Amino acid sequence: MLGDKINYLRKQQNLSQEELAFKLDVSRQSVSKWESGQCTPDIEKLNLLSEIFDVSIDYLIKDNEKDVPSTINEKTSITKMTMNEVKNYLNYRVHASWWIAVAQVCLYFHLYYYQS
């Protein structure tokens, strides 16, 4: 459960709820609600939690991820990105997809009208 993992990891780093809240720019009550399961952090806070605790977001949110991974499989490639980098990448993909769609439409019309 997410709340139990946040509580466990916070205590492993000897952080109070107040100290963790300060690092996340939230109230102590928010951390308390996360740990008790009354609500869950948004994706940006999950990303910060994963950075603070040095665990993956998958570890935080998946119930079947019981243990903190002590080593990373050599075949696994992990890239840490900031939220701005992720947003920029997604914007790039959207724009690239749009241009590909335009090119496909132009090609279709070219083939349809000039090959007839």
Q: What confidence tens digit (pLDDT) does each residue in 5-41 have?
A: 999 999 988 999 999 999 999 999 999 999 998 988 9
Question: Pick from 12, 5, 10, 37: which is nearest to 21 by CA?
Answer: 10
Identity of the residue numbered 105: V
Delimit the domains of the chain by residue range.
2-61, 79-116
The predicted model scores a pTM of 0.56
- Local structure of residue 13 (DSSP, 8 states): T
pLDDT exceeds 50 at position 72: no
Diameter of the chain measured on Cα atoms: 74
Note the pLDDT of residue 78: 61
Q: What kind of architecture, by CATH, is found in domain 2-61?
A: Orthogonal Bundle (1.10)
Q: What are phi and psi of 74, to 5 degrees?
A: -60, -25
Q: What is the pLDDT of residue 110?
A: 83
| Amino acid making up residue 28 | R
pLDDT band of residue 65 (cuts 50, 70, 90) is: low
Residues 6+ away with beta carbon under 8 Å from 11: none
